[in-house]
Structure 1
Amino acid sequence: MQKDVDAWLAHALAAHRGHYADPAVRAAAADLRTTHLLAHAALLTELANLAPGAGVDQLASAARLAAADPEATGDLAAFLARAWSGQS
């Protein structure tokens, strides 16, 4: 059950939907959520930029990566964000 809740929260954070549409709420959530959940949300955000039509079920590997190594997942999300924006 917790895994499903974490996936839902990560997707809500990444998609900026519902309660998390407000930037102030997202910022406040960053202080309350676990490292792996925030890494999962960051990676989902960047993967959605690369494949806008991808569904959450197609991005399940992001949750496994975040649970296994949140720091590396966050690094990957940052790398993808830089690549997406054209920065080196």
Structure 2
Amino acid sequence: MTYYVYILASRKNGTLYVGVTNDLARRVEQHRLGEGRSFTKKHKVGRLVFAEGFEEINEAIATEKRLKKWHRAWKIQLIERSNPEWLDLPVP
């Protein structure tokens, strides 16, 4: 099973949300439908701008926690290294 750490955005340079899941397609859809956390619904955060897969859940959770502590500028740099246009990525 693959575990994903993902970042959703409201728009380019907009509000960011960091999460972890073992079913990225389902989780992103939940966020987009407003079924996820109230934060993502309130801020209209639904564009998948970054995702990284892990084989071990502990590694994924540790990465999620680390990213949540990062400065916003660092998260933006991470996104722009692989997705400079902040496109809504296809779900792997």
What TM-score results when the alignment is normalised by the length of structure 1? 0.39
Structure with the higher strand share, 1 or 2 = 2
Structure with the bigger RCO (C-alpha within 8 Å, sep 6+) is 2
Structure with the higher helix share, 1 or 2 = 1
